[in-house]
Chains A and B, each alone.
Chain A
Amino acid sequence: NAGVTQTPKFQVLKTGQSMTLQCAQDMNHNSMYWYRQDPGMGLRLIYYSASEGTTDKGEVPNGYNVSRLNKREFSLRLESAAPSQTSVYFCASSEAHGGVNTEAFFGQGTRLTVV
């Protein structure tokens, strides 16, 4: 019953460093998402992927890149971290087709601090 698994759980980066957040789901979902959660701003969509091989920008894509490696995995990369990217990052997946989106399942989150 793994569901959605994110790694790492915590990370501290220096400004300018790069890193990749990993996400994998074992529910055979077609859609996957990356969000950031900031106080007072809720969850903001960074990127999403409707299917293997496709990715689209969300509300706040600047400073991030993503890769939908296969149906299971969807990674988020920060090429040059900035303090403004300090946040809690969540990966999620859902089954979306025929105009209906099922329940989204979330990972446990990655708490990232950029100093």
Chain B
Amino acid sequence: EAEVAQSPRYKITEKSQAVAFWCDPISGHATLYWYRQILGQGPELLVQFQDESVVDDSQLPKDRFSAERLKGVDSTLKIQPAELGDSAMYLCASSSRDRMNTEAFFGQGTRLTVV
């Protein structure tokens, strides 16, 4: 069964260092989401791609976060420099069409700890 792949599963980094997360969506899925989930809270959308284009990055802290999906397939989310408050689970999800009724499939996430 096709799944959204994310790596690494866990990442510990020091404050002010750079960190990157990778996501490979389900093949053929045009829409890709990056969410941040702080422990005990719901996922918060950071950035949404339709193919290689960003359709929503209004909640992405652009002074330190960047995201790209160069060929409209896999995606990378980068944080530079990392801050203590960035400790969270970073979830990637994908869906097959840019439609409201489409189910989003989630990866297992990358748990980031900034020390």
Are these two chains actual partners, yes or no?
no
- A residues near B (Cβ < 8 Å) are none
A-binding residues in B (CB < 8 A): none
